[in-house]
Amino acid sequence: MSFDTVLIANRGEIAVRIIAACQALDLKTVAVYSEADRNAKYVSHADSAVYIGPSEAALSYLDKDALIKAARQSEAGAIHPGYGFLAENEEFASACCDAGLVFIGPKPDVIGKMGSKIDAKTIAAAAGVPVVPGYHGDDQSDDVLTEAAAEIGVPLMIKASAGGGGRGMRLVDNLDHFQEQLSMARQEADAVFGDPAVLLERYVGQARHVEVQVLCDEQGNCLHLFDRDCSLQRHHQKIIEEAPAPNLPDAVREEMYQASLSLCREIGYTGAGTVEFMYEPAREAVYFLEMNTRLQVEHPVTEKITGIDLVAWQLKIALGEPLPMTQDDIHISGCAIEARVAAENPAENYRPETGRITLYEEPDGEGIRVDSGVVSDGYVSHYYDSMIAKVIASADNRVAAIRRLEKALSRYRIAGPVTNIPFLRDILELPDFKDVLHHTGTLESAFDEGWSSPETPEQDLKLAALAAFLITASDKDNSPWRSVGGWRVTELSGRTGSSYLSVQDESGDLTVMRIEGRQEEYRVTADGDDAKSLVARNAVLRDGTMTGEIDGLRFTADVRRAGKAVFFQLMGRQTVITPLTPEQRYLGRLEESGAGGNRLHAPMPGLITDILVEKGQVVEAGETLIVFEAMKLMQKLTSPSSGTVQDIHYEVGDTPEKDALLLSLETE
C-alpha cells in the first residue's frame, strides 16, 4: 500500500529519529502530543502535530482511538509506533489496518504470537530453539505459580508476558518473598502493558544478554544484521549496548543467526525485529528469551557497524520495496557502543528525577552520534520514561570506541535534573567490562553496596566557587547585594577584600567559601580552613571559559550558569554548585541535623498503588511502607527509621506531588 504521510505514535528521541528518516525519504510527518509534551522538541520537528489528550499515557499515547482519529484528521496513510507504548500491541496494529492505515511493523497476528512471552517461548520450543527452563502456562492463579516457583527453585525470574525493557520483572532469591515480588511484577505489568500475566524462568547467572537484529521484506527475504551485547543492565534494564557482541565463539554466533532466521520464516515476519538470547559462556549454551517485533532502543549501534538505516528500511518495506541486498552483501565495519543518558540518581537506587533542564549541550566530534529528545529549558516529566538521550560512539575497534564514548560523556553538559552520566563513566572503567568478562549481574556485583557519587575534588569545588564569584561580580543585572545574601564584592571597585558565599554541591553538602584578593591573586578558603586555602593567579572568566594558574600550572575550565546553579568542568570532571542565601543555608543545616527522619515524602510526582501498613503499626527502618508508581516504574518506599506509624496522609489511588508528606512516624 502506498502512502506519503506518516503519523508517529510516539514521543521523545525516537519520534525525532523517525521524523528524520521520513524526511530523508520525502515523506511528510505528523507528530502527536499530550499536554506534557506540548512544547517538546519532536513536535516542532514534524511537518504537523495533533493534540491527543492529557499528560497521562493511558489517556494519550495509549489511546488507540485517539491515535487513529489523529491519523484521519491529518490525512496520514501510515502509522509508525516507534518503541514502547503500543509498538507491540496486536489490537492497535489490527485497528490501524481496519482503518485503512499502514502499520509500519509486522502483521498483527505475528505481533500477537511474539508479543506474549508465553506464546513466543512455546513457538520457539516447537521450532527447536532452546529456551530457558521455567513455567510458561496460561494458568495464572497464585497456587499454580507458587507451585511452579517451588519446582523451578531459586534464583528465579518473574517476567511480564506482554512486556519488555525490565518492566514487570522481578528476581526472586528467597521463596518466602515470592508472593510480594509476584504482586509487584503484576502491578507493574498491568500499569505499563495493560496485562498482568507473567511467566517464571530459572535465573541464568553469569550470563550475557545477546541479541540478533533481523530485517525481512514482504517478498519473503530474511536477513540478519549481526549481533549486539546488552549485558550491562540495572534493574533488568539495558544501559550500555555494543555491536558486535565481543568475544563470542563463531559457532555460537552462527547458532543464534540461524535460530533467528528460522523463527522469522516460521512466523512470516516482516520489517525490523530483534531476537534476544541469553548466552552462558561457561557452557557455551544459548537460550531464546523473546522476540521484539519493533525497533529497539539500541538500533543505532547496528546502523553504525553495517551502514544500514533501519528506520528507513522499516518505511521502505512498509511501502512494499524488496531488500536489494543478500546476506553476503552485509559486512561489519568497526565497533559501536551506546550509553543511555537518563534523568535518574544512581546513588539513590536509580531514582528517576524530574524538573526543568536549565542547560543542555550535546557532545560532538568524529565517531559521535547523539539521539535526543530534549532541549534547553525543556522539562523532564514524571509521566514518561526517564531517558533523555542516547550517546553512540563508533571506531575501528572496541577500545577506541569505548574511549570515544567516555570522552563524549565527559563533554555532555546537562543541568537541572540529576543524570546518570557519572555512573555511566564509572561503568566504562570497570575492568570486567574492558576485559569482556561482564554479564547481566556485573553492575550488582561491582556496586554491591550501591553506587556512590564520586567526591568532588576540593580544588574543583573551590574553583567552582571562584567561578560563581566571577560570574556574579560581572553581572550588571544581578546585584549580589540583592540576590545571594552575604556576599561582599569589591573587585569591580578596584579594591581587594573578602567575599563570603555558601555553596551547595550535587550531593547536598554545604560549604562556606571565603574569597579574597583580585585577578592577580585570588585566595579561596573553605569553612575557615586557612591551611588548605587555594591560590589562583591571573584567574579570568570570559565567554564561558575560565583560565588561571595554580602552583605555576595553567588550567582551563568550562563554566556555564544554569538558572541559579553554576556548571564547572575541568579535565573531564564536572562540578555543579548552587550559591545559597543565608535562609537556604539555615534550612539545609536543619535537614543535615536529622530533622524529618520520622517522615516519608514522595520522591517525585506519582501514583500510590499500595499502602502496606496501617496507623499504629510498629515498623523497622528500611521496611517497605508504600508502593509508588512513577515514570512507569514501581518503587518501594521504605521507612526512614524505626517507630510507630502515626499518620498516613494519602490513600491508594492518590497522586501526590514531589516532596508531599506521605506518612509520619512516632520515634524515640
Q: Do 137 and 164 have their domain in common?
A: yes
Q: How far apart (Å, rounded) are the C-alpha atoms in residues 427 and 421? A: 10
Q: How many CB atoms lie within 10 A of CB 461?
A: 22
pLDDT band, residue 584 (cuts 50/70/90): low
Q: Which three cell numbers stand for residue 179?
A: 508472593
Residue 219 in any domain: the answer is yes
Q: Do 82 and 32 have their domain in common?
A: yes
Sheet holding 134-135, edge to edge: 134-135, 198-202, 156-160, 170-172
Q: Do 278 and 403 have their domain in common?
A: yes
Q: How far apart (Å, rounded) are the C-alpha atoms in residues 665 and 252? A: 56
Residue 397 maps to which CATH number? 3.30.470.20
Q: Do 240 and 320 have their domain in common?
A: yes
Q: Which three cell numbers stand for residue 592?
A: 543535615
Residue 233 in any domain: the answer is yes
pLDDT tens-digit series, residues 255-290: 999 999 999 999 999 999 999 999 999 888 899 989
Task: Concatenate the DSSP letters of all residues of 312-354 into one string.
Answer: HHHHHHHTTPPP---GGG----SEEEEEEEESEEGGGTTEE--
Please tell me the predicted confidence (pLDDT) of residue 484. Answer: 40
Question: CB of 532 within 8 A of CB of 538?
Answer: no
pLDDT tens-digit series, residues 448-500: 989 988 888 899 999 999 999 998 877 654 444 334 434 444 444 444 567 88
Of the residues 170, 294, 351, 585, only one is catalytic, namely 294
Residue 251 in any domain: the answer is yes
Dihedral angle sign, alpha carbons of residues 639, 640, 644, 647: negative
Which burial class, exposed, middle or buried, applies to 459 when counting CB atoms under 10 A from its CB (0-12, 13-18, 19+)? middle
Mean pLDDT for the stretch of residues 314-329: 97
Q: Do 488 and 342 have their domain in common?
A: no
Checking if the pLDDT of 194 tops 90, the result is no
Residue 113 in any domain: the answer is no
pLDDT tens-digit series, residues 377-400: 999 998 998 999 999 999 999 999
Q: Do 66 and 81 have their domain in common?
A: yes
pLDDT band, residue 581 (cuts 50/70/90): low
Q: Which domain holds residue 75?
A: 5-104
Q: Do 398 and 261 have their domain in common?
A: yes
Residue 38 maps to which CATH number? 3.40.50.20
| Domain's final residue, options 202, 230, 257 | 202
Residue 662 maps to which CATH number? 2.40.50.100
pLDDT tens-digit series, residues 641-656: 889 999 999 999 888 8
Q: Do 395 and 267 have their domain in common?
A: yes
Mean pLDDT of the chain: 89
Mean pLDDT for the stretch of residues 88-114: 96
Please tell me the predicted confidence (pLDDT) of residue 102. Answer: 98
Q: How far apart (Å, rounded) are the C-alpha atoms in residues 603 and 627? A: 12
How many domains are contained in the chain? 5
Q: Which three cell numbers stand for residue 235?
A: 534493574
pLDDT tens-digit series, residues 498-537: 788 888 887 777 888 999 988 789 999 999 899 999 999 9
Please tell me the predicted confidence (pLDDT) of residue 165. Answer: 63
Mean pLDDT for the stretch of residues 328-347: 96
Q: Which residues pair with 48 in a beta bridge?
A: 30
User: Does the active-site annotation cover 294?
Assistant: yes
| Domain's final residue, options 148, 181, 202 | 202
Please tell me the predicted confidence (pLDDT) of residue 478. Answer: 47
Mean pLDDT for the stretch of residues 403-410: 96
Residue 344 in any domain: the answer is yes
pLDDT tens-digit series, residues 26-73: 999 999 999 999 999 999 999 999 999 999 999 999 999 999 999 999
Predicted TM-score (pTM) of this structure: 0.81
Please tell me the predicted confidence (pLDDT) of residue 598. Answer: 85
Between 524 and 564, the more confident residue is: 524
Please tell me the predicted confidence (pLDDT) of residue 571. Answer: 84
Pick the range with the lowest mean pLDDT from 38-42, 134-138, 250-254, 462-466.
Answer: 134-138
Q: Do 198 and 214 have their domain in common?
A: no
